[in-house]
Amino acid sequence: MIRLSILLLFVLAVIAEWQEGSFDPPRGVGTSGGAAAPAAVVAGARRLRFGSKSGEFKILQVADMHYADGKETGCLDVFPDQLSTCSDLNTTAFIYRVIRHENPDFIVFTGDNIFGLDSKDAAKSLNAAFEPAVALKLPWAAVIGNHDQEGTLSREGVMQHIVGMDHTLSQLNPTGIEIDGFGNYNLEVRGAEGSALANKSVLNLYFLDSGDYSTVPAIPGYGWIKPSQQVWFQKTSSRLQEEYMRGALQQKDPAPGLVYFHIPLPEFSYFDASNFTGVKQEGISSASINSGFFATLVETGDAKAVFTGHDHLNDFCGKLIGIQLCYAGGFGYHAYGKAGWSRRARVVSASLEKTLNGEWGGVKSIKTWKCLDDEHLSTIDTQVLWIKGSTGRHLPSSLFIVIYVNELW
């Protein structure tokens, strides 16, 4: 039995803000659309890796495609003169455009990949939604949102279908443990080939199922990340930190972690225009209770940024207690949006530092920007999310936080 209760109410005082301090064809993608597996994946090992020449690892986040039945599915919230020619195919075209423009090493789809209610066949819709990543043979991963399972596949069925697709690194769940939801897993990004950290994960990626809707009658609204998922996250983070900091070639600080799921945490509501980069054009549609996952993220210590979707008209990043909370902004054309406000994707780029002997070391910095589906694929809101050695403990002024945790009986 789980009883949700308020365990702690505390006031966070204002503290000093710490200062932090042309088109390229995509790797492995030819002009004909044919592709070899990118260098970011070690052949046969399904491992992600930083580039040995660039010392960079670039992630493309695609949120809320809301794909349904291709050219038969119309667009929402576009100008009237666009309606007759706009469909899911515009979403597909945008994915191809942004891949060729940004040249990512890895793609993350953060839920509501399909809009189940409007899909005649969920499996076909999933295949069409992820087709660009599969066709270009790019490594990719996905989590599910609150609309993926509303069609002909159950929530588990959707994730099982995703896991079975080509070139995906998605996983159904960790083996050997009982855990809520489907699509809780982690991926490790190894250091550059030939470097001392070539066989260590220098960047850790976490993926969680944030649920769809509350299953507790007394609690309305959306789902949330459950205690079993938080325990798994804590144990996984602890293991990865142990391996990085205390094993062979031990490091002084944990490797940074990035966390991906669909529904934003309640803490996303603690920002206003004075302390975020981007826009907030609608409310924060989080769960109506706080399960304490943000406190878990702070406690584990390695997570530097969280990336979500769900609220299509929000695309901001704001820092809270050293963790960046970021929206991607709506991507799909069969998803609600705003006419004249371009659909968009978020890009994250992690860069390695150079050691004293001139070889690549661990991650030095992580930055982000957004790419718009306009005439020029405009880049906006470039910002540094994290720099090695910075505490980043910036809090919004006069912030009151109520943390709810779960008591297990």
Q: Taking residues 80-93, report their average pLDDT.
A: 97
Pick from 309, 318, 333, 249: nearest CA to 278: 318
- Structure tokens, 75: 């667009």
User: Can you give the pLDDT at residue 246?
Assistant: 84
Percent share of the chain, pLDDT over 70: 84
Asked if pLDDT for residue 9 goes beyond 80, the answer is no
Residue 15 has pLDDT above 70, yes or no: no
Q: Specify the pLDDT at position 272.
A: 87
pLDDT of residue 247: 72
Mean pLDDT across the chain? 87
pLDDT confidence bin for 390, thresholds 50/70/90: confident
Q: What average pLDDT does this structure show over 199-222? A: 96
> With contact defined as beta carbons under 8 Å apart, do 355 and 361 qualify?
yes
Q: Going by C-beta distance under 8 Å and a sequence separation of 6 or more, which residues neighbour residue 227? A: 2, 291, 406, 408
pLDDT bracket for residue 391 (50, 70, 90): low
> Average pLDDT for residues 18-45, to the nearest whole number?
36
Name the strands in the sheet holding 41-42, side by side, starting at the edge strand that comes first in the sequence.
41-42, 47-49, 185-190, 201-207, 257-260, 303-308, 323-327, 317-320, 276-277
**Residue 251 scores a pLDDT above 70:** yes
161 has a pLDDT exceeding 50? yes
Give 200's contacts (C-beta < 8 A, 6+ positions apart).
190, 191, 243, 244, 247, 249, 255
Higher-pLDDT residue of 400 and 141 is: 141
For residue 37, pLDDT beyond 50 = no
Within 13 Å of residue 275, how many CA atoms lie on the same side as its CB? 19
User: Which residue is associated with the tokens 């989590």?
Assistant: 143
Residue 209: pLDDT over 90 = yes
Sign of CA dihedral 332, 338, 340, 342: negative
Q: What is the pLDDT of residues 272-284, one digit of tens each?
A: 888 999 999 999 9
- Give the phi and the psi of residue 102 in degrees, each rounded to 5: -95, -20
Is residue 136 pLDDT above 70, yes or no? Answer: yes
Lowest mean pLDDT among 59-63, 341-345, 400-404: 400-404
For residue 153, pLDDT beyond 60:
yes
**Residues whose CB is less than 8 angstroms from the CB of residue 307 and which lie 6 or more positions away in sequence, other chains included:** 61, 108, 110, 258, 259, 260, 326, 327, 328, 346, 348
The three-class DSSP label of residue 95 is helix
Higher pLDDT, 44 or 204: 204
